[in-house]
Amino acid sequence: MTLAVSGGDLQRLRRLNALAVVSALRTAGPLPLTRLAGHTELARATIKEVVRDLVAMGWVAEMDPSTGGGKGRPARRYRFRAENGRVLGLDIGAHKVLAAVGDLDGEVLHVSRESITPKHSRRERLAAVDRAVDACLAATGTAPADVWITTAGSTGYVDNEGNVVVSRAIHDWSGVPLAEHLTGRVAGEVLVDNDSRLAALAECRRGSARDARNIVYLHIGRRAGAAIILDGVPLRGSTGAAGEIGLHPLFHLADSSDVLTSGNSGQAVFDAARRGDAAALNAVLRYVKVLALATAAMALTVDPQVIVIGGGFSRSADVLMPPLRAELETMCLRTPELRASTLGDECVAIGAVCLGVEHLNQRFFNPENGPVAPLR
């Protein structure tokens, strides 16, 4: 018996084959047709037709033939054109503004930095954002029209419209319409999210939690923040306020960090604790006890595989993690593994680029209608 195949089914099959080829090229690098067939489990004739269509569409480019190690005609290799567009990621914090430009695979090409303080006005902070953006675009030869999407991470509670609703860390920052400001600076869509949430995404995609799909991220330093990744997706909640546990008066995370910082980064206290200083060890333990309460509340709620320690205090994770683990073991049914951030102070900007790329993937490579031709 012969089964009839409708035109719609054939169209969907072509789309799925094309998406399989794009995925293979993005994950495995430049490949010849034979290896593409192996990665996708498609017939070589099908691969040849799909690649031809993707080249015509503009998503795939043929490379110079590889010399290889054997005799005969070198194989043609093909690659994904990640340079088609640019993704702009921003980290707008209390003490710095970072701008990062990445390609469509999320590879960061350049990072620009502007120093600032919590006391600077809204106007001055937005001007610092503009300077960082201009410097980063200029360094990569990127025109504003070449930016397909911009994602900004800001400290504070950010709503679904891209407005900073509340910020306790930055003077004069609550209420800033950040998405509206950025929309006038570059082309493409603008997304705005909480900085801890973007840092968590970065750790899950490119940092210390790449092997995990359920994590809790703790931003600890001169301010406190947290974020949750569930099944690989950042948890935003109904209005974008998910993870703002540091605001709960029971935990007093912001106040408890004062026992460590005393107007500085806390490094002196951590250094003394490493040397075994009793007063410093006591200060660290007092802070950890409060931190553990908040962390255990999240861990018991979402049961993460990994808890990532980020923020300024992550540089002293060797001092913080042993007592934090001990406290959590008294509160959790199963104590998650603790890991320190590996991305440093570029974590939020990297996460912003990652989110931008994933948003574009949904637009251009959705199984229901993709691949869609790239922007010109």
CB neighbourhood size of 41 (10 A): 7
Same structural domain, 188 and 274:
no
369 within some domain: no
What band does 93 get if pLDDT is binned at 50, 70 and 90? very high
248 has a pLDDT exceeding 80 = no
Cα 227 to Cα 204: distance, rounded to the nearest angstrom: 12
pLDDT at 51: 96
Q: Rounded mean pLDDT of 20-28? A: 95
* Mean pLDDT, rounded, for 5-20: 82
Q: What integer pLDDT is reported at residue 221 of this predicted model?
A: 84
What CATH number did the domain enclosing 245 receive?
Answer: 3.30.420.40
**376 belongs to a structural domain:** no
Whether residues 166 and 179 fall in one domain:
yes
Task: Determine the pLDDT at residue 6.
Answer: 53
Query: Cα–Cα distances in Å, from 136 out to 107, 261, 266?
Result: 14, 32, 31
Cβ(52)–Cβ(44) under 8 Å?
A: no
Residue 203 lies in a domain: no
pLDDT at 254: 57
**Domain for residue 374, yes or no?**
no
- Position 3 scores a pLDDT of 41
Verify that 94 and 71 share a domain, yes or no. Answer: no
147 and 41 inside one domain? no
Q: Give the residue numbers spanning the domain of 33.
A: 7-80
Cα distance between residue 289 and residue 94, in whole Å: 26
Asked if residue 342 has pLDDT above 60, the reply is: yes
What average pLDDT score do residues 201-206 get? Answer: 97
Region 274-297: mean pLDDT is: 92
Q: What is the pLDDT of residue 109?
A: 97
Is 220 inside a domain boundary?
A: yes
Q: What total number of domains does the chain contain?
A: 3
Asked if 327 and 228 sit in the same domain, the reply is yes
Is residue 8 predicted with pLDDT exceeding 90? no
Last residue of a domain, one of 63, 80, 97: 80
**Angle, alpha carbons 265-174-102 (nearest 5°):** 70
The residue type of 176 is V
Specify whether 221 is located in the same domain as 323. Answer: yes
Q: What average pLDDT score do residues 94-117 get?
A: 96
> Does the pLDDT at position 224 exceed 60?
yes
Cα–Cα dist 23/42, whole Å: 13
Q: Kindly state whether residues 282 and 264 are assigned to the same domain.
A: yes
Tokens of 309: 């320690």
Which pLDDT does position 264 carry in this prediction?
54
Same domain? For 119 and 68 the reply is no
302 and 188 within one domain? no
130 — phi, psi (to 5°)?
Answer: -60, -40
Angle at 157 between CA 156 and CA 162, to 5 degrees: 105
Which DSSP state fits 231?
A: T
Planar angle of CA 314, 317, 319, nearest 5 degrees: 135
pLDDT of residue 4: 46
Signed CA dihedral, 125, 225, 90, 167: sign only: negative
**Could you give the CA distance from residue 254 to residue 220 in angstroms, rounded to a whole number?**
9
Longest dimension (CA), the chain: 83
Inside any domain, residue 93:
yes
Q: Is the pLDDT of residue 202 over 80?
A: yes
Cα gap 230→235, rounded to integer Å: 7
Tell me, yes or no, whether 151 and 100 share the same domain.
Answer: yes
Q: What's the pLDDT band for 184 if we cut at 50, 70, 90?
A: confident
So what's the pLDDT on residue 262?
A: 56
Label residue 222 by pLDDT band (50, 70, 90).
Answer: confident
Same domain, 324 and 226: yes
Answer yes or no: do 53 and 94 share one domain.
Answer: no
> What average pLDDT does the chain have?
90
Looking at 80, 95, 111, the residue that finishes a domain is 80
Q: Higher confidence at residue 261 or residue 183?
A: 183
Q: What is the pLDDT of residue 171?
A: 85
Q: Select from 39, 62, 80 the last residue of a domain.
A: 80
Identify which of 42-46, 107-111, 183-187, 289-293 has the greatest average pLDDT: 107-111
| Ordered DSSP codes for 92-106 | E-SSEEEEEEE-TT-
269 inside domain: yes
Span 256-270, pLDDT tens digits: 566 565 545 578 889
Is residue 199 pLDDT above 60, yes or no?
A: yes
pTM over 0.85? The answer is yes
Tokens, residue 225:
């923040």
Backbone angles phi, psi at 222, to 5 degrees: -65, -15
If pLDDT is split at 50, 70 and 90, which confidence band does 71 have?
low
The distance in angstroms from the start CA to the end CA of the chain is 47
- What is the model's pLDDT at position 58? 95
Q: Where are the alpha helices (DSSP H) in the chain?
A: 7-28, 33-40, 44-57, 122-140, 178-183, 195-206, 253-256, 258-261, 267-274, 278-302, 317-329, 347-364
Summarised one tens digit per residue, pLDDT across range 133-153 is 999 999 999 999 999 999 999
Average pLDDT over residues 203-211: 97
